[in-house]
């Protein structure tokens, strides 16, 4: 949500796919599917401009119940941000309470906010929430849980994706020309039966003339 000015159309399209064919799409929660981020970056303003507060609160409820991660064929771990620096099991993740806003620290926060770093160990995150985790932490998490690969998003990449940590971590970012200003490609991953990632890159296309974050309070909002 939030960074573009068509987030309402995006989430409603996803939910319609889910209603029509539940197995056609699986949604996970990101750090911007939260009340605080929605208020700061414009999703709240967009929903209220296009609908009303009731619809916004309903969407917040949906966000609160989205899973924080998914596992593909017992081998590929998918989450928005990253993995916790304290090595945990998949069962530890499964029991995280849903239907709530994320705390500022802890397992839920790490899954939503953390980022990989190229060197071993952990570091405080430049975001002020979560951590930066090294290849040793990735390997330990994957080994503990019998997994082979971490796939996450959360960061713009010039080519739409980046493979790190000796091939154990992939960042994939599907918003080309992020915020109409970054000039990056977008990408997605296809996994076949071998679970080898196949990347598809794409460029941005024109959209209606509404600037990014047009509904964000204090950022050139439509309400000003």
The Cα–Cα gap between 79 and 153 comes to: 7
User: Hey, what are 59's tokens?
Assistant: 């969407």
Concerning whether 65 is annotated as a catalytic residue, the answer is no
Say what angle helices 7-20 and 43-50 make with each other, to 10 degrees. Answer: 80
CA angle, 51 as apex, 49 and 57 as ends, to 5°? 105
- Strand ranges, E, within 18-177: 69-72, 76-79, 115-116, 122-124, 131-133, 149-152, 161-164, 169-172
The Cα–Cα gap between 71 and 76 comes to: 5
Q: Which residue has the tokens 């990253």?
A: 82
The Cα–Cα gap between 6 and 24 comes to: 22
The Cα–Cα gap between 209 and 188 comes to: 26
CA separation, residue 214 to residues 31, 119, 219 (Å) = 20, 38, 7
The residues carrying an active-site annotation are 32
């Amino acid at each position: 949500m939030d960074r573009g000015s068509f987030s309402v159309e995006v989430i409603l399209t996803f939910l319609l796919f889910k209603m029509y064919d539940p197995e056609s799409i699986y949604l996970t929660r990101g750090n911007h599917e939260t009340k605080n981020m929605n208020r700061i970056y414009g999703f709240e303003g967009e929903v209220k401009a296009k609908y009303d507060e009731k619809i916004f609160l309903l969407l917040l409820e949906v966000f609160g119940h989205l899973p924080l991660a998914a596992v593909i064929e017992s081998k590929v771990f998918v989450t928005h941000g990253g993995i916790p620096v304290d090595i945990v099991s998949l069962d530890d993740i499964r029991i995280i309470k849903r239907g709530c806003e994320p705390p500022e620290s802890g397992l839920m926060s790490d899954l939503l906010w953390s980022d990989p770093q190229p060197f071993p160990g952990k570091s405080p995150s430049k975001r002020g929430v979560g951590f930066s985790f090294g290849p040793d932490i990735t390997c330990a998490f994957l080994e503990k849980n019998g997994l082979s690969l971490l796939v996450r998003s959360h960061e713009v990449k010039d080519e739409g994706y980046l493979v790190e940590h000796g091939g154990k971590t992939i960042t994939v970012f599907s918003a080309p020309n992020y915020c109409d200003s970054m000039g990056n490609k977008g990408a997605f991953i296809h996994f076949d039966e071998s679970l080898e990632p196949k990347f598809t890159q794409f460029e941005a296309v024109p959209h209606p003339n509404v600037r990014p974050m047009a509904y964000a309070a204090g950022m050139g909002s439509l309400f000003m």
